[in-house]
Amino acid sequence: MTLEGKVALVTGAGGQGIGAAAARDLAARGAQVVVNYRSNQQRAQEVVESIQAAGGNAHAIQADVIDEGQVLRMVEEIVERYGRLDIMVSTKGGHVPHIAGPRFAGKGEGHFAAIAARVGTRPFTELSWEAFAARVNGELQAAFTITKAVVPVMERQHAGRLIYLSSEHSRGPAAPGMIANGAAKAALNTFVVYLAHELGPLGITANVVSPAMVQVQATRWMQPAAFLERVASATPLGRIAQPEDVARVIAFFASDDSAFMTGVYAPVTGGFGLARL
């Protein structure tokens, strides 16, 4: 799959996770990549430098994906610099602070409950509407805002690829206390289906890439060896996904190889979920 001559914007790529891996993969296939970040300029620049060191082309632009003005400025800068925008990869929802108040603890068994306690998720019985709405709104506002900004550019080209990162939490509970996250991602999935239907006549495809657990640097604290072994043993392909596994699927949807696919929900799970933990 070649992406020579294409311009790709990857939101939330200024880190060490899926966004950064997607930016590197797209660049390796020949795309000119714009690395979007919200606050960590140093990490975004490290991603850019790693792409350039491998012979690719990239630069970073700061913008908060829920800020309409910042997003429009970013897209205008891209078009002014390159004259086009072919691919938009949304890997980051809006920034939502950890849910305040009593945390999810003692409501489940094993390591999933410990994870929920650490990151500040809560079960429905302890969840306020404000906290729930903030999570759902942050996810959808980010997707809506970036899509609203890039679609006019793609419409003029009569071509474009929209790719959104979801989660297997969107299809049902995989850990305690994840109701807000699951509902937010499920709403994102439906949003993308409607985009696919409305934007198809404009030559624009819209698809969802949905991983289960992914080993990323930011979550190593909640992935002890025994837990990882347990998850891997419940995965038919025998291991846990790496960011690069997800990035390759994103690259497929960015390429002409997927030209006749839109409104697709693509699980990147290694078969996890086919059998219970």
Residue 120 forms part of a structural domain = yes
Whole-number pLDDT of residue 212: 86
Residue 275 forms part of a structural domain = no
Domain harbouring 193, CATH code: 3.40.50.720
Residue 152 forms part of a structural domain = yes
Q: What is the pLDDT of residues 122-132, one digit of tens each?
A: 889 999 999 99
**Strand order from edge to edge, sheet including 265-268:** 57-62, 32-37, 7-11, 87-90, 160-165, 204-211, 265-268
Find how far residue 31's CA is from the centre of its chain.
Answer: 19
Stretches in the chain below the pLDDT threshold 70: 94-120, 217-223, 275-277
Q: Which two tokens stand for residue 78?
A: 């891209």
Residue 107 forms part of a structural domain = yes
Q: Which two tokens stand for residue 196?
A: 């696919």
| Secondary structure (DSSP) of 152-198 | HHHHHHT-EEEEEE--GGGGS-SSTT-HHHHHHHHHHHHHHHHHHHH
Between CA 93 and CA 219 the distance in angstroms is 17
Q: Which two tokens stand for residue 129?
A: 């509407």
Q: Are 80 and 69 in contact (CB under 8 A)?
A: no
Residue type (1 letter), 208: V
Whole-number pLDDT of residue 275: 57
Residue 1 forms part of a structural domain = no
Instruction: Record the pTM.
Output: 0.89
Which residue bears the tokens 């729930």? 132
The total of structural domains in the chain comes to 1
Distance spanning both ends of the chain, measured CA to CA = 36
Q: What is the pLDDT of residues 77-100, one digit of tens each?
A: 999 999 999 999 999 875 554 443
Residue 82 forms part of a structural domain = yes
Q: What is the pLDDT of residues 30-82, one digit of tens each?
A: 999 999 999 999 999 999 999 999 999 999 999 999 999 999 999 999 999 99
